[in-house]
Structure 1
Amino acid sequence: MSTFGQHFRVTTYGESHGRSVGCIVDNCPPGLELTEDDIQPQMTRRRPGQSALTTPRDEKDRVEIQSGTEFGITLGSPIALRVMNQDQRPHDYGGGGKNIDGFPRPSHADWTYLEKYGVKSSSGGGRSSARETIGRVAAAAIAEKYLKVAHGVEIVAFTSSVGPEHLFPATRTHPTPSTNPAFLEMIDKITRKQVDEFLPVRCPDETVCKNMEELIADYRDKADSIGGIVTCVIRNCPSGLGEPCFDKLEATLAHAMLSIPATKGFEIGSGFGGCEVPGSKHNDAFIKAPAVTPAEANGTPETASGRSRPRLTTKTNNSGGIQGGITNGAHIYFNVAFKPPATIGQAQQTTGYDEAEGVLEAKGRHDPCVIPRAVPIVEAMAALVVMDALMVQSARQSARSLLPTLERTVPVSEQNNNLTNGHT
């Protein structure tokens, strides 16, 4: 399927070396101020050719709004977003001999697409290419603006590992970053602007970033590739989001993240390292939530969401902001693991479509490490998940608000405060 979401629905289209790529966004709330300028920053962060550590393919990735807005305001009708491909080179993928048209690329999707459909794109991986994510990032920029304006939601991702270089390596004291004060302080304050000060790798530590940069450059120079991990935090997310039992918010986040090309792993909160922490230390004890400040009560997007905070919060956050599949108002944070890019320049002994053994020497322009450009893609999928879950919960509470309040239940007005920005 090429559609993601149940309520805020995004359908992406296009192939890596086709004429264009893009998406249709259905069910965007009407009345949101929106122009290409709201979308382009994330497109630019994702685009190729940003540095010597990424593919040199020269695409500006200029987004065009084709429908769904008038005079810079969303109409509630489907929004079409298009990006023209300007530097496609399908000839890099054909020609016989040592080129790749005779071989399924090892660990790529060439063979599986052919097995599934009986036909495949002849160049660049087609829909399996990371270029498909342009539509996701464009659509998510719309979701992000709504989430920011309506709820003060902030989503920030950064590079936390490349190969063996880790920003927060596991130790006996801190087998998981969820117990590491330095990590918790970082996700509480980090901004996208700060992350982008550490280009081209986007790891917010000068020393570690430099080590990662040198490591990626070394693999690039050897016509090889390397993987890594992107960490993401979602702040100011309303409580009560998530649909047990099968659409728990961590489950939909995992679904979203593992749909990104080249992903191989997902962990949330304490993750796998939390398996080494006893329950007596891992449990997140409840405490009284701090009072709302005057600035927060004003509800301006620049300061805070203005929504009423839950009466309780947790002393620690090993749960990663989600308990029982439902958000509890704390920071949501998770890791996404990306494998080394499959297409490399080294000669590889393999077997062709004709079942004859041979040597593949791939041509074309490819990233030696996808991590730096994956950062905005992870942010995008997080925004789509939260936006969809928010619309589900808003519909539920709107329907319930028409019923009389029952004893021993939380009043609807109090619940709705978690989903509004305090404005009338």
Structure 2
Amino acid sequence: MTGNTFGQFFKITTWGESHGRAVGVVVDGVPAGLEINKELVENELKRRRPGQSSVSTPRKETDEVEILSGVFDNKSTGTPISMLVWNKNANSSSYEHLKNLPRPGHADYFYLKKYGIRDYRGGGRSSARETVGRVAAGAIAKALMETYGIKIVAHVLELGGIKAKKLEFDKILNNLEKTPLRCADLDAAEKMREKAEHARDMGDSIGGIVEIVVKGIPAGIGEPVFDKLDADLSKAIMSIGAVKGVEFGSGFESSKMYGSEMNDSFVIENGEVSTETNNAGGIIGGLSTGMPIICRASVKPTPSISKIQKTVDLSTMTETEISVKGRHDPTIPPRMVPVAESMVALVIAEHMIRSGYIDPDSLM
């Protein structure tokens, strides 16, 4: 299997399966001198950890990280940082009956067609458990970005058709962790929780929209042709399981606008060139504009549901039915929030180094 490595200048390689012994990541390209410790990484892992609420899987994992290399006296050394998290609460027995029954909405059958073999225990490599490595690496990328005044926050904007009202950046930061829905509009969050629990009780699931905002990034970060900043961000976000669409700024709504409505007029603010609006979502021509980067990801409903669905029995090549038992999230967006932040942080770190804003060797 190829495609387990992401990035060129700030590079990560994730490894491990949902029901294997452990999952982890190797991060290469972290400049020397960055403050890193277990607490920094585990604070982010805690946010994606299962079993936190009625709208997440009841699987219990402590997600305690072991930093195996690349850190000395709580500072990065400039060498590859390897991190490991043991799987301690995997229950493979729930998947035995699925050995020959590909689950609708999952990659089971297509893994089998590609490799001739698949790990049916919780989806193996295609499981959301793989994102442990992404979030661990993202914790480091976010810490690096914060040293340059760049803040990254994601939040649930819509869930099951229930939309949150638009809030300012600081309000989002303040309210984000006040509810397990990770929706900054607390009234909407309560309605979302009820909708998610209702779907769970029916043996079903719901999807939603996660918005990611990057504040403090200077203008001119990115590349203008194939490696556009928004192109790389799109790939990063689309690489997260269950994401089916990405938009920036006005996004698909821009197709309905006049150019005079869409264009962000230039103004002078505090002696600096800025734009009056931000319909472009902080990126034009593949380069950052200095305005906040705003992107949204459309997330499909959790495919693992206990409702009866049609499938096939690969051992007999006959049509049959399936009910997916086990411990599954009735909705994905709330736990996707730290994963989305991590993937965006990795891309911003990559382009900050690539553009020469960060010394790739050392911060000291």
- Normalising by structure 2, we get a TM-score of 0.95
Taking the aligned partners of 2:243 and 2:182, their CA distance within structure 1 comes to 18
1:193 Cα offset (Å): 4.2
For the residues of structure 2 that align with 1:32 and 1:317, how far apart are their CA atoms? Answer: 32
Mapped contact 1:28–1:74 kept (Cα < 8 A): yes
**Are the aligned partners of 2:98 and 2:120 in contact in 1 as well (CA < 8 Å)?**
no
1:167 matched to 2:145: no
Q: Which has the larger radius of gyration?
A: 1
SS in 2 for 1:261: coil
1:388 paired to 2:350: yes
Separation in 2 of the partners of 1:332 and 1:122?
38
Q: 2:322 corresponds to which residue? A: 360
**Which residues of 2 match residues 117-196 of structure 1 at below 5 A?**
117-149=115-147, 151-168=148-165, 183=166, 186-196=167-177
Matched, 1:347 2:349: no
- 1:127 and 1:192 mapped to 2: Cα distance? 32
Offset from partner CA, 1:211-247 (integer Å, 9 cap, x none)? 1111001000011111100011000012211112111
Greater shift, 282-291 or 63-72, is seen at 282-291
1:279 shift after superposition: 1.4
CA distance in 1 between partners of 2:351 and 2:289 (Å): 14
Question: Where do 5+ consecutive residues of structure 2 fail to align?
Answer: none
Shift of 1:289: 2.8
User: Residue 280 of structure 2 aligns with which residue?
Assistant: 319
- Secondary structure of the structure 2 residue equivalent to 1:364: coil
Separation (CA, whole Å) in 2 of partners of 1:193 and 1:377: 19
The match for 2:199 is 219
Paired residues in the alignment total 359
Matched residue SS, 1:13: strand
**2: CA distance between counterparts of 1:57 and 1:80?**
25
Q: Is the 8 A contact 1:100 1:361 kept in 2?
A: no
- Please give the alpha-carbon distance, in whole angstroms, between the structure 1 residues aligned to 2:228 and 2:304: 35
Quick one: which amino acid aligns to residue 161 of structure 1? E
| Alignment-mate amino acid for residue 115 of structure 1 | K
1:72-83 correspondence runs (5 A)? 72-83=74-85
Correspondence for 1:52: 54
One-letter amino acid of the counterpart of residue 231, structure 1: E
> 1:270 Cα shift?
0.5
Q: Which amino acid aligns with 1:57?
A: R
Is 2:110 the partner of 1:112?
Answer: yes
CA deviations over 1:69-111 (Å, ceiling 9, x no partner): 11111100000011111101111110xxxx3122000110101
Q: Match for residue 245 of structure 2? A: 265
What is the distance in 1 between the residues matched to 2:269 and 2:42?
37
Amino acid across the alignment from 1:374: M
Q: Find the residue that maps to 1:102 and give its secondary structure.
A: coil
CA distance in 1, matches of 2:99, 2:231: 38
Q: Aligned-pair distance for 1:27?
A: 1.2
TM-score, normalization by structure 1? 0.82
Query: Does the Cα contact within 8 Å between 1:90 and 1:124 map onto a contact in 2?
Result: yes
Q: How does 1:259-338 map to 2 (within 5 A)?
A: 259-291=239-271, 311-338=272-299
Aligned AA (2:144): Y
Cα distance, 1:364 vs. partner?
1.2
Cα shift at 1:138: 0.3
- Give, in angstroms, the shift of residue 191 of structure 1: 4.5
1:187: Cα distance to partner? 4.2
- Structure whose residues are more often strand by fraction: 2
CA distance in 1, matches of 2:172, 2:218: 19
Report the Cα distance in structure 1 between the residues aligned to 2:172 and 2:133, rounded to whole angstroms.
23
Other-structure match for 2:187: 207
- SS of the residue 1:208 aligns to: helix
> After the TM superposition, which segments of 4 or more aligned residues of structure 1 sit over 4 Å from their partners?
none
Give the corresponding residue for 2:228: 248
Which string of whole-angstrom CA distances, capped at 9 and with x for unpartnered residues, describes residues 21-71 of structure 1? 010000110011110111111100000001011100001111121110111
% identity of equivalent residues: 43
Query: Partners of 1:6 and 1:219 in 2: how far apart?
Result: 41
* Alpha-carbon contact 1:153-1:235 (below 8 Å) kept: yes
**How many angstroms apart in 2 are the aligned matches of 1:317 and 1:74?**
36
Contact 2:175 2:183 in 1 (8 A): no
Q: Distance in 2 between matches of 1:46 and 1:190?
A: 21
Q: In structure 2, do the counterparts of structure 1 residues 22 and 187 end up closer, same or farther at CA, with 3 Å as the change threshold?
A: farther
CA contact (8 A) 1:156 1:190 kept: no
Cα distance in 1 for partners of 2:47, 2:169 equals 22
- Aligned with residue 370 of structure 1, among 332, 335, 339: 332
RMSD: 1.7
